[in-house]
Structure 1
């Protein structure tokens, strides 16, 4: 029986533990903060639960064209009768996160995984030491998986205090809606929370150091979102870098690099993450890390030390729970001799949970424009979709990329309500190397938003005879 020791109970760790147990391994899982890790306790589950409430508020506020009236008949203002109890919202958020963590714990224990509460570190490539409440415990291992995740990056000039200057892990302690929330950082985390708090009725200022929000996403999609933000009254400060954030009584003062000052009641720092790899004995055990501290791995999750693998945000590959889980599974399949395919990032679908959502998979517009990938594309605005018209949705589009000669679908972008659900057929097409003709010949429900995916595929018919 192979002795498997996993350090970290997030998606990379607990999914790996389940696979290892299934394949007959003797599995020990060492965890500190609670099973599910940040994905369940402070990140994905809490934030998307908050966003679910925000989505309802967005639908209520934008329902006038559907014939619904809230508040005074002459104004139709939803705020007159709909309000947010942020304390109740966050209580539900934390309760759901706790329950999800408990469910994972029960599943782990049912699968005969030895759960150890403590902080793990390497004492060599085949030895793990856990610092527990009862003292140190040492575990010999045939295989070790490092899945310790990452934590919010903190700037020396903008130290969070947990009350007015906050990381995204501290937002759920708020019991009242901020009067004015300043969000520093316009990546996925910053954009999602800015969108959510704007929908909840908060005055939001989004500070972006780049030319546009979501600089890592499809430019057309990011422009749609920025236009929506502006239409809804959010203040977006582009090309603006925060130099410092200080608290002034019940206010915060954000000083920009060019000397401008922005004041608000609260500030959310969303400026990236750092890996939880310090003081773990990695270098001493032969595990290579990069300059930022992320563990270096190959496509089957192996590190530079024999028998040591790594998965999740501590690797810096893609900070997605789905990727972490797959990295963990791949590590176990590989080390325990099961069938395994290396991680293929071109088949990974991702989603930004703003309103509207932005979902992507495969080839990007940047790759096509630069000539890195020879492909053709078509973009269909959402406002032309009959179901979108019925629902009052007009912001967004469906974009498909296909190979110029073969017509094989190689990527796509969906900007729409519930884009996270709509990207799945595109991801299936990319994974299975379907052609646009195969996609277009599948039946879709009428009316439906998925109809735009089929229509986009139909419009790309014939590209197999056109040179790139």
Structure 2
């Protein structure tokens, strides 16, 4: 059978791959996309979207418990975990189906199967119907990543879970251990803790949410502890003893190992790139610690072969993957493309309270040699936050004292995952402190705190 020929083949249909395919098609390229499991990838099916659906249910449950604070009455409040999960899966299904529609609309040829690079410009696709060969001058690897499984802490789906198990839990945890306090670990800890699980989080670093600004981490920790979470920092889970109805965790802190019993463990200790079985070695593609090495334009060093998203390394974020997908498609179509700068990409964590940031932390800015001006504003000083019943939170801004450049912004509190985009746009437009001070923010909104935080950095704060 003759090979089918395209201008561009994309391997992987997650938020990096399917976006690259759409942009390529918009620019007049003939595009094929190969996906071995689900259109939409992990993000839509088992990651970003279904977790947000779960967290929304726990947020509403939390508010129902606070009904009397708002002058409302709600008795016999409860939840049906099966129904909560069902809603989450329905949301994921709806969006995954939408990607299929977008592929059709943009005339992208979809091949469901496992892809291997069969040589330069050649992709072999194995599906249940057999094997076929596709050819293209340009190939984009967007195969993503998967959860890291540490030896001895492997998931079994019964008592020890990975994210997929936690999204479709076989039981409601009573006593839960979460290993790892990055975005995934903290979001699941927040969800199950809100639903009443006695939750402990173990973090190997000296603070939770270790990629965030130190003040944000400390503030979030205090809030989680107020909600009854136990947090162990500088701690390592050495081994798990599994029984039918419980898991005994050996946890080391300060050189001492203690045993703790749980009925459920969630492992969220990072990710590894999906680089196996792609034929990368034969083509001489450089792989460093399970991630494909690329330049700023996502080029692999092998002519016509690009890698985007999680497989190409940190930050492991869907929106970074999508943006790289657009950039690479434009590059292939001969357009002028701008590389994606990691420090201009916002990170969002949807725990309660939410956490969001962009740019450098205060410590990183100082380490890079900047003389900094730092501003802060608390939610308690904002009328809208108090009216919402969300007075716990903080917004912090970091400026270059010499030029007024906004170096970083760090937030913790209600709806900060939506607010952060204001600062992202500001950084993209190379905004200075003067521009932000002269911007009129609407009242009453949470966004006014962004203004006040800037004013505070320059000794001009009004409501504090």
TM-score normalized with structure 2 length: 0.94
Aligned equivalents of 1:140 and 1:204: distance in 2? 51
Name the structure 2 match of 1:360: 357
1:109-130 Cα shifts (integer Å, max 9, x gaps)? 1111110000001112211111
Distance in 2, Cα, partners of 1:58 & 1:462: 37
| CA contact 1:402–1:436 (8 Å) conserved in 2 | yes
Q: What is the rounded CA distance, in whole Å, between the counterparts of 1:63 and 1:453 in structure 2? A: 29
Checking the alignment, whether the CA contact within 8 Å between 2:149 and 2:155 is kept in structure 1 is yes
Question: What is the DSSP-based 3-state SS (H/G/I as helix, E as strand, rest coil) of the residue aligned with 2:421?
Answer: helix
Q: Distance in 2 between matches of 1:2 and 1:159?
A: 41
Aligned to 2:104: 109
CA distance in 2, matches of 1:349, 1:319: 11
CA distance in 2, matches of 1:195, 1:150: 23
- Are 2:163 and 1:158 aligned? no
d(CA) in 2 for partners of 1:64, 1:242: 41
Q: How does 1:32-47 map to 2 (within 5 A)?
A: 32-47=36-51
Aligned to 2:416: 419
Alignment of 1:233-312 (within 5 A): 233-257=228-252, 258-290=256-288, 292-312=289-309
Query: Is the aligned partner of 1:373 residue 2:385?
Result: no
Q: Deviations over 1:49-102 (max 9, x none)?
A: 11111111232334554444544xxxxxxxxx2112111111111111111111
1:82 equivalent in alignment to 2:86 = no
Distance 1:415 1:23 in 2: 40
Q: Return the match for 2:381 from 377, 381, 384.
A: 384
Provide the secondary structure at the position in 2 that maps to 1:213.
Answer: coil
Superposed CA deviations along residues 283-334 of structure 1, whole A, max 9, x for unmatched, are 21121110x1200111111112110001111111211000011111111111
Tell me if structure 2 keeps the 8 A contact 1:403–1:409: yes
Is 1:219–2:214 an aligned residue pair?
A: yes
Indicate the residue corresponding to 2:124 in structure 1: 129
Is 1:6 the counterpart of 2:10 in the alignment? yes
1:247 positional shift: 2.2
- Counterpart contact for 1:8–1:29, Cα < 8 Å: yes
Q: Is 2:24 aligned against 1:20? A: yes
What's 2:437 paired with? 440
1:54 to 54, 58, 73: 58
- For the Cα contact (< 8 Å) 1:400–1:411, is it kept in 2? yes
Deviation at 1:371, TM superposition (A): 4.7
Figure out how many residues of one structure are paired with residues of the other and give that number: 453
> Does the 8 Å CA contact 2:6/2:135 hold for their aligned counterparts?
no
CA contact (8 A) 1:387 1:447 kept: yes
Quick one: structure 1 residues 392 and 34, their matched pair in 2 at CA, closer, same or farther if it must change by over 3 Å?
A: same
* C-alpha deviation, 1:369, in angstroms: 3.5
CA positional deviation for 1:173: 2.3
- What is the alpha-carbon distance in structure 1 between the residues aligned to residue 360 and residue 208 of structure 2? 20
Taking the aligned partners of 2:282 and 2:411, their CA distance within structure 1 comes to 45
Alignment of 1:346 with 2:343, yes or no, is yes
2:95 is the alignment partner of 1:100? yes
Distance 2:370 2:258 in 1: 42
SS at match of 1:96: helix
- Deviation of 1:339 (Å): 2.4
> C-alpha deviations, 1:172-213, integer Å up to 9, x for none?
222542111111111111111111111122111111122221
1:320 aligns with one of 285, 306, 317: 317
TM-superposed CA distance for 1:405, in Å, is 2.4
Native 8 Å contact 2:166 2:188 kept in 1: no
Go from structure 1 to structure 2 and tell me whether the alpha carbon gap of 1:212 and 1:288 turns closer, same or farther (over 3 Å shift).
same
Residue 185 to residue 16, structure 1, CA distance change in 2 (3 Å): same
3-state DSSP of counterpart to 1:15: helix
1:66 touches 1:391 (CA, 8 Å); kept in 2? no
Q: 1:462 to 1:455 in 2, by over 3 A?
A: closer
SS in 2 for 1:169: helix
Is 2:144 the partner of 1:149? yes
SS in 2 for 1:314: helix
Equivalent-residue separation in structure 1 for 2:67 and 2:430 (angstroms)? 40
Q: Distance in 1 between matches of 2:343 and 2:268?
A: 26
Q: When the two structures are superposed, what TM-score results if normalisation uses the length of structure 1?
A: 0.93
